Amino acid sequence: MELKTVLYEKKDNVAWITMNRPDVLNAQNAQLRNDMLAALDEARLDDEVYIIVLGGAGRAFSAGADISEWPKMFPMDTLKDFYGNRRFYELMRAIPKPIIAMVNGYALGGGCEAVMACDIVIASEKAKFGQPEVKIGIIPGGGGTQILPRLIGEKRAKELVMTGDFITAQEAWQMGLVNKVVPPEKLLEATQEMVAKLKTQSPVTLKFCKLAVNKSLQLPLDEGLKAEQDIFALCFSTEDQKEGAKAFLEKRTPKYKGK
């Protein structure tokens, strides 16, 4: 795998993926989107990777789509371009492994949409979130008008999308877009703590957790509850379910195999 704009490091069953165009605040051009697809696919297919952490190099998580590509763009170009964009977020939602966003700074436009596609979000107090597309004559194109209202509610989403205003990490936490806000110097440590917590669980059970909760964003309640019932039943086919129950009864820590 040859990556030009993304760093990939695998360590102790965790894939650390870092968007790496710091000079332009990790703006997402076609190269970065392709690199993200390759890096995410590598992590998806690697059985030794249980958890993925997504971050940004420099002072931003990502300031969104690379606007320099846009003055000459026409509708058919955007369809081609955004197909790649959507795939990157869709792949994140589809990968059956937890993805933690480690948000150091700006998460705007496509950067905010990448945050939405992660499962758990740890943010620095310095982070800023927003959908500023309206200010350059467009609407969000990677979930900002569809996923965001489901996460923070219609009115708040409309305010963000219509004003293009940025919100602080604390405000994003209050709205439910962020799980935890920490001082900048504690961002890595807080992320590692979350990684450690998730690593005590069975990777196969985490997969089912993600699949089941993702259904709640896609399905009407009755269908979602049915999907939950099916996934719940599937848990009983795993060795880790037997081990989890046994370990509890024997008052010991479970030894999970991810099977």
Q: Catalytic residue numbers?
A: 113, 133
| Binding test (CB under 6 A) with ligand COA, winner from 6, 14, 15, 27 | 27
> Restricting to residues 169-198, which ones interact with ligand COA according to CB under 6 A?
none
| Contact status: 65 vs ligand COA (CB under 6 A) | yes
Work out which of 7, 30, 67, 247 binds ligand COA, going by CB under 6 A: 67
Of 2-10, 21-29, 113-121, 153-161, the segment contacting ligand COA by CB under 6 A is 21-29
Nearest to 5 by CA among 54, 69, 57, 78: 57
**Residue 68 interacting with ligand COA (CB under 6 A):** yes
Spell out a b/e string for 160-183, using b for 16 or more CB atoms within 10 Å of the CB, else e.
bbeebbbbbbebbbebebbbbbbe
In the region spanning residues 111 to 150, those forming contacts with ligand COA, defined by CB under 6 A, are 132-133, 136
| Nearest distance from C-beta of residue 47 to ligand COA, angstroms | 36
Q: Rg of the chain's alpha carbons, rounded to an integer?
A: 19
Choosing from 24, 30, 94, 247, the residue that interacts with ligand COA (CB under 6 A) is 24
Give the SS3 label for residue 147. helix
| Under rule CB under 6 A, residue 163 binds ligand COA | no
Nearer to ligand COA, 26 or 238 (CB): 26
Nearer to ligand COA, 132 or 143 (CB): 132
Contact at 8 Å (CB) between 140 and 162? no
Backbone dihedral region for residue 186 (phi beyond 0: left; psi -120 to 50: alpha; all else: beta): alpha
* 57 makes contact with ligand COA (CB under 6 A): no
**108 interacts with ligand COA by CB under 6 A:** yes
Q: Which position among 64, 143, 203, 244 is part of the footprint of ligand COA (CB under 6 A)?
A: 64
Task: Give the C-alpha separation, 166 to 158, whole Å.
Answer: 13
171 vs 38: CA distance, rounded Å: 33
**Separation between Cα atoms, residue 195 and residue 76, nearest integer Å:** 41
Query: At 232, which amino acid appears?
Result: F
Which residue, 102 or 212, has its beta carbon nearer to ligand COA?
102
CA trace torsion 224, 97, 236, 225 (10° rounding): -10
- In the complex, which residues of this chain contact ligand COA (CB under 6 A)? 24-25, 27, 63-68, 106, 108-109, 132-133, 136
